[in-house]
Amino acid sequence: MEQARQEVEQARELIDDVLFLGELETGREVVSLGRTQAKPIVEEVVASFRERANHAEVELDVRSDGRAEVPLRPRMLRVVVENLLANAIRYAGPGTTCTIELTNPAEGPVLTISDNGKGVDASDLPRLFERFYRGDQARTSRGTGLGLAIVKHVITSAGGEVEAMSEPGRGLEIRARFPPLDRQVRLSRSGR
C-alpha cells in the first residue's frame, strides 16, 4: 500500500510540474511583473523546508541581503527557491550543509544555492536543466526531472541567467543572476 501511495504521489507531482511548465511556456503564467523584495520569500521557503532538511540530515544556512529585489512575482520566486532547495536536500546526502545566499552586487541580484555534498559528474552537468533529465544518482530517488527545467525557464523569462557548477565530492552550486535594477526597469518599459 505504501509503495502504491508513493507512486501515485510521484505521478501527481509529475503532472503538476508538466502543467506548470506548460503554463509558463504558453505565457499564461506571468513570471516577471514588478519587483519582489527577495529576503522575506527566501526565508519563508527555507523555514518551510527545515523539517524535510532535518529528516535528510542536511543543515540549512541562510545568508541574505535585505536590499535585493528580483524581477519576479513572489510566487515565481517561491517556485525557484523551492525547486532548488528540494534538489539540494534530495541529492546532497546526509551530514551536508546547503547554503542559500542572496547578494545584491551592482551587476544585479544573485541567488546561490550550494551544498557540500556528493556533487554532480562532469558529464551530467551540462544537462541538469533539461526536462526529464536525471543523472545516474538521481534515477534511484523520487523526483520528476522537471524542477531545474522550471527554475531555468522562470529565471530566463525574467531576463536572468542560471548556471550550475560542481565537482564530484565537492557539492553542487546553482547560481541565478538577475539583471540590475536599472535594466529591470528598462525591460519592463519595453514590454519584455
User: Virtual CA dihedral for 111, 117, 120, 121, nearest 10 degrees?
Assistant: 150
DSSP assignments along 32-95, one per residue: -SS-EEHHHHHHHHHHHHHHHHHHTTEEEEEEE-TT-EESS-HHHHHHHHHHHHHHHHHHH-TT
> pLDDT by residue (tens digit) across 69-96?
998 888 888 889 999 999 899 889 999 9
**At a CB cut-off of 8 Å and minimum separation 6, what does 179 contact?**
71, 108, 159, 160, 187
**pTM for this prediction:** 0.74
Does the pLDDT of residue 143 top 90, yes or no? no
Q: What average pLDDT does range 122-149 have in this prediction?
A: 63
Domain count, the chain: 1
Closest CA to 119 of 141, 140, 96: 96
> pLDDT by residue (tens digit) across 101-116?
999 998 999 999 999 9
Does the pLDDT of residue 162 top 80, yes or no? yes
> pLDDT by residue (tens digit) across 26-60?
654 555 556 788 999 999 999 999 999 999 999 99
CATH number at residue 68: 3.30.565.10
| Domain extent at residue 59 | 2-189
